[in-house]
């Protein structure tokens, strides 16, 4: 439960307990005390309204029912033979329900209108984000078509792994977007390093690895990409802490980034590169099995193995096909 709502409900409970205690302790034999009881009966509306604010109509009904029960019990136990007893007192439970439902409906309407405003803002930000990401992918495609094709394939694989692991649609979509732009920083890597045949020198490796920070910088310039930027920033981190750029260990790595890394490694092993020929699925899985738990996440790798065992998923993974960018983000 939301901490703010939990605090409001605790406040309603405290109000109810205090009012109930005072109500039952006071006698009903004098007019002065009788007037105080009427005031206390009115104050019972406070926890009803607080519950309505916390849980809208449902909270109001629950609070009204509980307080009505307390109030009626007090009437039956203490006012049966009291000279101040009055049939009008039995109207209070009705008042609690009416006030609670009215307050709950007002809160519900206010929350719904706020949600509508937030939804308009969210859609506007999402449109701006999609336009920004589309621009980045266009730049990458012009600079390096092979990396763009790799990114699309990684996105497709990451989505399949996420679905296999039972992740919700929001996380899966974040994986899709992060997969598409995870190598966008390579657009800022010099040609002699990006397209080099053979192994990189130590200095060149440092420059190549800077593509992660470059990608994060590009993404953070686009509103609404905080989650995607975080996933991209960690997609080269390893469970044993040997990854880059920050050397994070398993518990500190975003689970989505761990999935993206598995997808990236599998795609890299099974695609032609200037420095190696592609391996087949069995060989790639054999290599990754040796890395499982240390260089790649074991759970994400297990999901990948399950995915490539399904013909339909394997077709997408092997072909490298992936939905168009605009389709991905609708």
Q: How far apart are CA 9 and CA 1, in angstroms?
A: 11
DSSP 225: -
Asked if residues 9 and 54 have their Cβ atoms less than 8 Å apart, the reply is: yes
% residues pLDDT > 90 (the chain): 48
How far apart CA 73 and CA 86 sit, in angstroms, is: 15
3-state secondary structure of 227: helix
Per-residue confidence (pLDDT) for residue 122, from 0 to 100: 78
Each domain of the chain, given as residue ranges in start order, spans 3-116, 144-328
Which is it for the CA torsion 230, 232, 233, 236, positive or negative? positive
Tell me: pLDDT of 35 over 70.
yes
Peptide bond into 14 cis (omega under 30): no
Report, in this order, helix, strand and coil percent for the chain, each rounded to 5.
75, 0, 25
Token pair recorded at residue 290: 């040796």
Least confident of 175-179, 208-212, 304-308, 312-316: 312-316
Provide the β-strand partners of residue 240.
249
Q: Under 8 Å CB-to-CB from 228, ≥6 apart: which residues?
A: 174, 177, 178, 181, 219
Mean pLDDT of 28-50: 80
Task: Determine the distance from the C-alpha atom of residue 167 to the mean position of all C-alpha atoms in its chain, rounded to a whole number.
Answer: 11
Mean predicted confidence (pLDDT) in 183-211: 90
- In the structure, what pLDDT confidence band is assigned to residue 27 with cuts at 50, 70 and 90? low
State how far the Cα of 15 lies from the Cα of 51, in Å rounded to an integer.
11
Q: Which residues are catalytic?
A: 186
pLDDT at 86 over 80: no
Report the C-alpha gap between 143 and 189 in whole angstroms. 10
Lowest mean pLDDT among 170-174, 215-219, 307-311, 326-330: 326-330
The pLDDT value recorded for residue 330 is 24
Tell me the two tokens of residue 111: 């929350």
CA dihedral 11, 14, 19, 22 (to 10 degrees): -150
Predicted pLDDT of residue 207: 94
Looking up tokens 């109030």, which residue turns up? Answer: 71
Q: From the centroid of its chain, how far is CA 220?
A: 19
Rounded to an integer, what distance in angstroms lies between the CA atom of residue 97 and that of residue 93? Answer: 6
Mean pLDDT of 62-72: 89
pLDDT tens sequence across 290-302 = 999 999 999 999 9
Q: What average pLDDT does the structure give for the chain?
A: 85
- Cβ 320 vs Cβ 152: under 8 Å: yes
pTM here is 0.64
Q: Give the model confidence (pLDDT) of 177-194 as tens digits.
A: 999 999 999 988 998 988
What is the phi/psi pair of residue 273, to 5°? -130, 160
pLDDT score of 137: 84
Nearest residue to 245 (alpha-carbon basis) of 217, 210, 294, 215:
210
The pLDDT-based confidence of 84 (bands split at 50, 70, 90) is low
Q: For residues 144 and 71, what is the distance between their CA atoms, to the nearest angstrom?
A: 75
Q: Which fold has domain 144-328?
A: Hypothetical protein af1432 (1.10.3210)
| The residue to which tokens 């600079």 are assigned | 143
């Amino acid at each position: 439960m939301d901490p703010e709502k939990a605090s409001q409900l605790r406040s309603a409970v405290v109000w109810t307990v205090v009012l109930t205690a005072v109500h039952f302790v006071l006698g009903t034999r004098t007019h002065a005390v009788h007037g105080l009881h009427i005031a206390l009966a009115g104050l019972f509306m406070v926890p009803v309204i607080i519950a309505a604010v916390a849980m809208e109509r449902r909270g109001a009904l629950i609070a009204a029912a509980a307080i009505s029960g307390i109030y009626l019990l007090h009437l039956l136990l203490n006012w049966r033979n009291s000279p101040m007893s009055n049939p009008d007192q039995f109207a209070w439970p009705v008042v609690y329900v009416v006030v609670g439902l009215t307050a709950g409906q007002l809160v519900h309407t206010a929350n719904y209108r706020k949600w509508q405003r937030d939804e308009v803002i969210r859609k506007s930000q999402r449109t701006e984000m999609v336009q920004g990401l589309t621009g980045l992918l266009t730049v990458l495609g012009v600079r390096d078509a092979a990396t763009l094709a790799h990114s699309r394939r990684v996105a497709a694989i990451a989505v399949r792994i996420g679905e296999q692991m039972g992740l919700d649609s929001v996380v899966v979509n974040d994986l899709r977007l992060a997969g598409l732009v995870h190598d966008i920083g390579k657009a800022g890597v010099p040609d002699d390093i990006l397209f080099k045949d053979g192994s990189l020198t130590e200095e060149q490796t440092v420059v190549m690895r800077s593509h992660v920070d470059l990608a994060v910088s590009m993404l953070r310039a686009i509103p609404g990409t905080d989650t995607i930027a975080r996933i991209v920033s960690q997609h080269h981190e390893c469970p044993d802490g040997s990854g880059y750029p920050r050397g994070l260990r398993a518990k500190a790595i975003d689970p989505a980034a761990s999935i993206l890394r598995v997808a990236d490694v599998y795609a890299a092993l099974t695609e032609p590169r200037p420095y190696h020929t592609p391996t087949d699925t069995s060989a790639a899985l054999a290599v990754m099995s040796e890395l499982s738990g240390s260089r790649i996440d074991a759970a994400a790798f297990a999901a990948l193995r399950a995915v490539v065992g399904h013909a339909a998923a394997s077709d997408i993974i092997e072909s490298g096909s992936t939905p168009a960018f605009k389709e991905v983000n609708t």
